[in-house]
Structure 1
Amino acid sequence: MSLSAVLTANNKTLSTLNGLLAAQPALVTALSSAQGITILAPSNDAFSKILSTSAGMALEKDPSMITALLQYHVLNGSVPASAFTTTAQFIPTLLTNTSFANITGGQVVMGMLSGKSVEVFSGLKEKSTVTTADIMFSGGVMHIIDTVLTIPLSASASAIDSQLTTLAGALTKTSLVTTVDSLKDVTIFAPSNKAFQDIGSAAGSLTNDQLSSILEYHVIAGTVGYSSLLTSGLANETLPTVLGGEGVAIESVDKKVFVNSAQVVITDIIVANGVMHVIDNVLNPSNTTASPVPTATSQAVAFAGVSAASDVPFTSGISATTTAPSASTMTAAAFGGMPSGAVGMAALFGAGAAVVVGF
């Protein structure tokens, strides 16, 4: 069957999607002639969750945003349900517009098997579950999903909605927001608020140059290190950061991943220009040899002579627009499973993101 015939045959479940596609003739033509694609088709119930909200109403008035959203629901490859496993896969989509995806090969979704269900994770670790799998058509395969995917936000906006308000505040204080958001193909190791609190006695005395150096030491440009790479291809490697190429050491031990002496506690927050992982310590560019004790329940801070503070530094004027699943702390099981979470509707279409919309 053609794509058009499949969409028509499933109109009872996909009438909202069909209506949106009807207003996108160029996209429909491209999809109808494409070969080897996978369409993640949100059900009517999935769209009903959002179209009654202010974000949904704004979406209906912005054809360019609808185009980007629909492109993000098309995987560049034919991926039947049987291809998903309990190991996370990061699959590129047709969303390549650099206003939304400053990443080589197009923005990705993360897919994996959870029990007998295929789950797909998008921006802010929002979860969509496949409810009807393997609807075949001449150009590939379609899966119906229960939740509209979230287009990944900029790194700075993702930090805010992931409750990484100290990091967001530090980026603002040092005027690094635009710099970090505009880099291509990044891996960001994002210290939690508690990690910054643990060096709280030193935070107030840091100059802007010192704080900038610390922040730059947490960013790798040119390598998108999803969790699957951190435990395999990048394990036991040293990756150059944007701080003059100064390196951080990646170590994988018993389903735990460490960056220098910091442990990754939340994986794979997909952002507009790459991926962000939350770590439990602030990395110190003056202590590049800091190494972990994998059997320890917590790691020593990488800064000498500091003490923890009760206040969370750099957060004045910084507040989250939503509480996303990406704010949920994970354990060592981060590299063996994913948490579920409610949909953060305010973030669904990039609320608060520093992204220019246009084609």
Structure 2
Amino acid sequence: MLFPSLLSMATVALAAAETMTLSEVLNANNKTLSTLNSLLASQPALSAALASASPITILAPSNDAFSKLLSTSAGMAVSKDPSMVAALLEYHVLNGTFNSSAFTTTAQFVPSLLTNQTFTNVTGGQVVMGMLSGKTVKLMSGLKETSTVTTADVMFTGGVIHIIDTVLTIPLSPANSAVDSELTALAGALTTTSLVSAVDNLKDVTIFAPSNAAFQAIGSATSSLSTTQLSSILEYHIINGTVGYSTLLMTGLANETFPSLMGTELMVEATDKKVFVNSAQVTITDIIVANGVMHVINNVLNPSNSTAKANTAATTQAVAFAGASSASTVPFTSGISATTTAPSASTMTAGAEKAYGTMGVAAMIGMGVIAGAF
């Protein structure tokens, strides 16, 4: 019978693929992966490490994916810096074997081999988010840039390769991520208080980042804040030592209190697929940053009003600063401008995900330093 014969042939082919080494599989797919092969050849230490690593998952950008990157001056600058090339390649290797069937409609945050502290400060390695969208695996990296798996489950002796259509973006520092996510009021407030380096160099953080509209809503109060008061307010938006991705906020961290960087506790509450922090709702989830994760919120939190709670049934929340009113302009934004408008600037409800367009390549020129500068 023809069908059993074909099935037998497919089984033999799969078994053969699983016994091929990484280099053999990469060479066999050189027509699609020649740029990746060339970059790996320029990194002999990494290539040798990958040859014996197991179990791993390689997210392999196609030649077309690298062409999109290398067609820009920023991409060419990346390709000429060996340390950045090494970091970029390491970020495309996940710890563990994740076949396409391992991904579901629930987001997974999988550690990569990128542990170089020049680029990341997350225990266990910087993560890549993966989830199923229809029948396709989508991957999210820095600035919520999305890559699509175009060819899945290319097996080799040490694990599996998935070919992707867009080069992953190494997550930027919180300050740089804020700028490119159109959180320019937060970026400006960090600059005003000289907290940029301090926040960017923290390890394992969860940052609740007020939107520009949230800062504008308390605009009348911002001009009277001292630098010390503004610093305390900003530090109140940071949980230090815990990286709370959206899946954890909805489950393990939900309905608990956590000490903020300034000391006063924050209350995280999850209800009806929404996440609230004190009197604010999370509106954009999972902007992966160099030292953890950032979630956008629609209210500025007030450490002097730490018992303020959100009305979970309401679409908007009362400001946490008594007597404050909206300003005609967004405070702290003077002199702050983005190099690109990233997908992370798009409004999205907590827990929801969508596919985005191509990489904000211009952002990659500054991705090599955790502590950004303005």
User: TM-score, normalising length from structure 1?
Assistant: 0.96
- Secondary structure of the 1:13 match is helix
- Does 1:343 pair with 2:362? no
Number of the residue aligned with 1:167: 186
> Displacement of 1:57 after TM fit?
1.2
SS in 2 for 1:143: strand
Secondary structure at the counterpart of residue 315 of structure 1: coil
1:180-199, aligned counterparts within 5 Å? 180-199=199-218
Distance in 2, Cα, partners of 1:65 & 1:236: 40
Give the secondary structure class of the aligned counterpart of 1:252: strand
Which one has a bigger Cα radius of gyration?
2
Structure 2 residue matching 1:31: 3-state secondary structure: helix
CA contact (8 A) 1:99 1:355 kept: no
Distance 2:137 2:340 in 1: 26
Quote the offset at 1:339 in angstroms.
4.5
User: Map of 1:210-359 to 2, 5 A cutoff?
Assistant: 210-243=229-262, 245-331=263-349, 334-350=350-366, 354-355=370-371
Q: State whether residues 55 and 348 of structure 1, in contact with CA within 8 Å, keep that contact through their aligned partners in structure 2.
A: yes
Q: For residue 61 of structure 1, report the CA deviation from its aligned partner.
A: 1.4
Is the counterpart of residue 16 in structure 1 residue 32 in structure 2?
no
Partner of 1:41: 60
The one-letter code sitting in structure 1 at the alignment partner of 2:195 is L
The one-character-per-residue Cα deviations of 1:32-71 (angstroms, maximum 9, x if unpaired) are: 1011100000000000001021111111211111000000
Distance 1:355 1:77 in 2: 30
- Picking from 55, 67, 72, the partner of 2:74 is 55
Tell whether 2:114 aligns with 1:95: yes
Are the equivalent residues in 2 in contact too, given 1:256–1:264 (CA < 8 A)? yes
2:15 match: none
Q: Which amino acid aligns with 1:30?
A: A
CA 1:26–1:354: 2 relative to 1, 3 Å: closer
Q: How many residues end up aligned between the 2 structures?
A: 353
Contact 1:87 1:336 in 2 (8 A): no
Supply the distance in 2 between the matched residues of 1:172 and 1:286 (Cα, whole angstroms).
Answer: 22
The CA deviation at 1:261 is 1.1
Which one-letter code corresponds to 1:271 in the other structure? V
Residue equivalent to 1:64: 83
Change (3 A) 1:33 1:77: same
User: Which residue is 2:16 aligned to?
Assistant: none
CA offset at residue 353 of structure 1?
A: 5.5
Instruction: Report the alpha carbon displacement of residue 297 of structure 1 after superposing the two structures with TM.
Output: 1.0
State the Cα distance separating 1:350 from its structure 2 match: 3.1
Letter in 1 for 2:206: T
- Counterpart contact for 1:324–1:342, Cα < 8 Å: no
Residue 28 in 1 paired to residue 44 in 2?
A: no
Contact map agreement 1:324 1:341 (CA 8 A) in 2: no
Structure 1 unaligned residues grouped into runs of 5+: none
Deviation string 1:202-238 (CA, Å, 9 cap, x unpaired) is 0111110110110000011100000010000000010
Contact map agreement 1:157 1:354 (CA 8 A) in 2: no
* CA RMSD of superposed structures (Å): 1.2
Could you say which residue in structure 2 is the equivalent of 1:80? 99
- Alpha-carbon shift at residue 295 of structure 1 (Å): 1.1
Identical-pair percentage: 73
CA distance in 1, matches of 2:283, 2:224: 28
Q: Distance in 2 between matches of 1:350 and 1:130?
A: 26
Moved over 4 A (4+): 351-356
Query: Any unmatched runs of 5+ in structure 2?
Result: 1-19
Q: Is the 8 A contact 1:86 1:336 kept in 2?
A: no
Corresponding letter in the other structure for 2:290: A
CA contact (8 A) 1:186 1:221 kept: yes
Distance across 2 between alignment mates of 1:5 and 1:294: 55
- Matched to 2:112, the amino acid is T
Once residues 200 and 339 of structure 1 are traced to their aligned partners in structure 2, the CA distance between those partners, rounded to angstroms, is 34
Question: Aligned-pair distance for 1:343?
Answer: 1.9
Which position in structure 2 is the counterpart of 1:208?
227
Quote the Cα distance in structure 2 between the aligned partners of 1:352 and 1:100.
5
Asked if structure 2 preserves the Cα contact closer than 8 Å seen for 1:200 and 1:309, the reply is yes
2:5 is matched with none
Q: Distance in 2 between matches of 1:83 and 1:326?
A: 26
